[in-house]
Amino acid sequence: MRTSTFRRGLTVLLLAATAGLVAPGTAAAATEERIGFASSGLDGTDRRTGHTLHSVMEVFDPPTEPAFGVTDFFVGGPLPGGGEGILYECTTEDRVRARLHALHSAVASGVLPLTCSSPVGLPDRQGYAVVGMVWHGTGPVEQHVFDHGGCTEYLDVRAARVAGGIRLVVPDVAVGRLVTVDPAESELRRQRMVCG
pLDDT band at residue 31, thresholds of 50, 70 and 90? confident
- In this predicted model, which residue has the larger pLDDT, 174 or 149? 174
Least confident residue range of 11-20, 67-76, 176-185: 11-20
Number of other residues whose CB lies within 10 A of the CB of residue 1: 9
Q: Is pLDDT above 80 for 13?
A: no
Give the model's pLDDT for residue 23. Answer: 43
Structure confidence by residue, pLDDT tens digits, 179-195? 999 989 999 999 999 99
Supply the Cα-derived Rg of the chain in whole angstroms.
18
**Sequence ranges of the domains in the chain:** 4-22+32-195
Residues 100-134 as b/e (b if ≥16 CB within 10 A, e otherwise) read beebebbbbeeebebebebeeebeebebebebebb
pLDDT band at residue 15, thresholds of 50, 70 and 90? very low
Give the model's pLDDT for residue 92. Answer: 97
Exposed, middle or buried by CB within 10 Å (0-12, 13-18, 19+), for 135? buried
